[in-house]
């Protein structure tokens, strides 16, 4: 049904591509290379974030939960709406 180009056809396509894009091919190759490098850096950054987040959650899960001392919240107390002070 559909046949891929053979050796001679690829050479003809390559020659036409060189005629059309000959002077711009180095710039196109450079920009394509930079794009691939930036993409790989982005993927690596995302992988690092996922790894660090998963290791943090694993560390939290393995640490024993400790109770706070009874006077830990005394220095800082928040007043809720039910604790309003009536003014005389």
Render each residue's pLDDT in the chain as its tens digit; 88 residues: 677 778 899 999 989 988 888 888 889 889 999 999 999 999 999 998 988 888 877 777 676 666 555 555 555 555 555 555 555 4
Distance between CA 24 and CA 37 in Å, rounded?
20
Considering the entire predicted model, what is its pTM? 0.44
Distance between CA 57 and CA 88 in Å, rounded?
51
CA 66 to the chain's CA centroid: 34
Distance between CA 28 and CA 56 in Å, rounded?
42
H/E stretch holding 44: helix 25-62
């Amino acid at each position: 049904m559909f046949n891929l180009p053979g050796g001679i056809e690829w050479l003809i396509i390559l020659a036409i591509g060189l005629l059309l894009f000959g002077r711009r091919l180095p710039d196109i190759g450079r920009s394509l290379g930079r794009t691939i490098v930036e993409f790989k850096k982005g993927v690596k950054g995302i992988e690092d974030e996922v790894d660090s987040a998963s290791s943090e959650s694993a560390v939290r899960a393995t640490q024993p939960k400790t109770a706070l001392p009874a006077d830990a919240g005394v220095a800082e107390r928040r007043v809720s709406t039910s604790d309003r002070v009536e003014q005389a």
